Homo-oligomer: A and B are copies of this chain.
Amino acid sequence: MTTLRVALAQLPVRVGDMAGNATALTHAVATAGSWQADVVLTPEMGVCGYPVEDLLAEPEFVRAAMAATQQVARSTDRTVALLGAPWVTGSLPGAAGARPAGSATDTRERGLRNVAVVAQGGQVHGAHAKTLLPTYSVFDDARHVEAGPAQQDLYRVLTPEGPVTFGVLVCEDVWSDALVQEVRRGGAQAVVVLNASPYHVGKQRLREAAVAAAARSAGVPIAYVNAVGGQDELVFDGGSFAVDGDGVVVARGRSFATDLVTVDLPVAAEVDPSWDVVDLGVTHTERCPLPPPPLTAPREVHDEVYTALVTGFRDYCTRVGLPQVVLGLSGGIDSALAATIAVDALGPDAVWGVGMPGPYSSGGSVDDARALADNLGIRFDVVPITDAYLERHRVLAGLLTDRTGATGQPVAWENLQARLRGTTLMTLANATGALVCTTGNRSESAVGYFTLYGDSCGTAPNPLGDLLKTTVTLRDGTVLPGVYGLAQWRNDRAAAAGQAPPIPAATLTKPASAELAPGQQDSDSLPPYPVLDRLLLAFLEDHASARELAGSLVADGWDPQAAAGTVDRVLTLVDRSEFKRRQVPIRIKVSRLAFGRDRRMPLANHWSHATAAVSVEPPMA
């Protein structure tokens, strides 16, 4: 059976670093050549990084990306290189043509496409423009580029085993069985896909299932390369793979790491192409033997999520050029896990923990924080906020006290403590050129159980911002590890390696408390976290209504009135804290639907999710 030797160059995405990306691409193409690969795949938009957002509106940026692509193309020899880049439509070889009739969903001409440039022997021979433009979840492709036309060129190479015709796709294109079938019917014996596919829990399984289904439905093998590395809230997890024409995975690269996987992919039977074919000619005249392709096993889910957080955190801090962080250590579970992630990302010398006891802090809080810092080997200082709090309280309470002696909403004084802590951390960070790491989790963020400009201060990405407090299992069986579960897993990993577990036992077991008022516990204000988290997940990710949420509690044995009251309280809190979430630092996405780019909500909004279920009459239509 004829095979196509495909190299999957799983490289980092580095936004805006044309020179660095061009060097990495050139090197990967040369390495693939030394393996006598027929084709080398590199990540979608790998020349300029992805997503680059509105930088694509800037002519200089696009010109630089095109120039860098030409530079890599000039370095190509016999192996065909597929290079992801933005390209001005008018100058697009092979993938230009008129916009398909009836597809004008927007009057704005982009003049730009997201392409895979096809280069060999120092020349650009053509390009494939992405046809399906994801415009949902974290994706805004339709904002930036035009869709490629329907029938684009195929490419034929003469391998040592004979001629092979292949089709090129970009990312979303391969999620459509119909499109892969068209490419096969057009004459392709193999399909190669460039991707920049961001991580969430269970994503690799979804990817492989979609690509395998497309391969089976079209009877054609597919090679899929992904990017790696963190870019703002997104982490690209690698895991590049290839499936044969039966949809069986025959090669898989590492996750969360640079890799180069080379595989001899058995191609489908030759058919007379009905689409235009660009003849690239001979790739190699002989072939060295390959070692068996890697089939790296997927990581266990805690390992996977933890590694995603470490990767996203590390890449952000190093790429903005400030690989040092300061964070507040309260003795609680959230700051303990965040500090551990920061240390695993940047090393203990780059992390500074600060205990900031206030008037209502428990005695254990500083002790537990110090124990954590000692375990992690990081600097730890204690900077109380009590004097500052008393000063501001005296001055402001004096201004606010009414005739009855009341000083307004008590939450103002709780928030004051959190804001003096945030101010303290920001001052230390600004003075030393470090980033501040905030440590609030997704459960707290959802219900607004945090202080804007207080504990939410952060100039590094929030490593916990997309983690619920507790572990939840989705309906499809996917496990979504929470803060407690990840902390326990990290301790267990250390123990298994014969190291001291970083997170103190007391931190793992004591009741959650913000310690902003005497004897305060989270459970005074919120339902128990396991209940809260289940409601949040169904509401945020499955758009469950208030009625459905209350029904699920009743099915668990809750009193109907208590269930309705709890759901009402939770959804009202979620609605009322949109304005707070709008101003928090980015968080690293690990869930299907994270706060941030994934969920865009109006702030001024009369719609109440809490009462929606009862106020709606069904439409007549």
Collect the chain B residues with CB atoms within 8 Å of residue A609's CB: 60
* Closest residue on chain B to residue A383 by CB atoms: B395
Within the complex, the shortest CB–CB distance from A324 to chain B, in Å, comes to 12
* Closest residue on chain B to residue A430 by CB atoms: B412
Within the complex, the shortest CB–CB distance from A138 to chain B, in Å, comes to 11
Contact stretch, chosen from A11-19, A339-347, A521-529: A11-19
Contact stretch, chosen from A30-38, A100-108, A295-303: A100-108
Collect the chain B residues with CB atoms within 8 Å of residue A543's CB: 57-60
A15 and B583 contacting across the interface, CB-CB below 8 Å: no
Within the complex, the shortest CB–CB distance from A408 to chain B, in Å, comes to 3
* A612 and B61 contact, Cβ closer than 8 Å, known pairs A415-B426, A422-B453, A606-B17: yes
A140 within 8 A of B: yes
* A606 and B15 contact, Cβ closer than 8 Å, known pairs A106-B136, A432-B408: yes
Collect the chain B residues with CB atoms within 8 Å of residue A319's CB: 604-606
User: How many subunits of this chain does the assembly comprise?
Assistant: 2
One digit per residue, 1 when the CB lies within 8 angstroms of any chain B CB and 0 when it does not, for chain A 560-588 equals: 00000000000000000001001111100
- Bound together, the chains give a CA A607 to CA B147 distance in angstroms of 25
A556 within 8 A of B: no
* A453 and B428 contact, Cβ closer than 8 Å, known pairs A91-B621, A579-B459: no
A142 within 8 A of B: yes
A416 within 8 A of B: yes
One digit per residue, 1 when the CB lies within 8 angstroms of any chain B CB and 0 when it does not, for chain A 576-604 equals: 00010011111000000000000111111
Collect the chain B residues with CB atoms within 8 Å of residue A616's CB: 60, 63-64, 67
Collect the chain B residues with CB atoms within 8 Å of residue A601's CB: 53-55
Within the complex, the shortest CB–CB distance from A417 to chain B, in Å, comes to 10
Within the complex, the shortest CB–CB distance from A314 to chain B, in Å, comes to 11
B430 and A615 contacting across the interface, CB-CB below 8 Å: no
Collect the chain B residues with CB atoms within 8 Å of residue A217's CB: none
Q: Which of A19, A101, A400, A426 has the most CB of B within 10 A?
A: A426
The 8 closest A-B pairs by CB, nearest first: A16-B607, A408-B431, A100-B102, A17-B606, A412-B430, A412-B431, A103-B103, A66-B619
Given contacts A55-B601, A143-B600, 14 further A-B contacts (CB under 8 A): A20-B606, A55-B607, A64-B615, A66-B621, A67-B620, A93-B621, A104-B131, A106-B135, A106-B172, A107-B132, A230-B604, A319-B604, A381-B399, A409-B433
29 contacts between A and B (CB under 8 A): A16-B607, A16-B608, A53-B600, A55-B601, A59-B545, A60-B612, A60-B616, A63-B616, A64-B607, A91-B621, A100-B102, A104-B132, A104-B176, A105-B131, A105-B132, A106-B142, A107-B134, A107-B175, A108-B134, A143-B600, A384-B395, A387-B395, A388-B392, A399-B428, A409-B432, A411-B430, A415-B430, A423-B453, A583-B585
Which A residues are within 8 Å of any B CB, using their own CB? 14-20, 49, 51-55, 57-61, 63-64, 66-67, 69-70, 91, 93, 100-108, 124, 131-136, 140-143, 147, 150, 172, 175-176, 230-232, 315-316, 319-320, 381, 383-384, 387-388, 391-392, 395-396, 399-400, 407-409, 411-413, 415-416, 419-420, 422-424, 426-428, 430-433, 452-453, 457, 459, 543, 545, 579, 582-586, 599-609, 612-613, 615-621
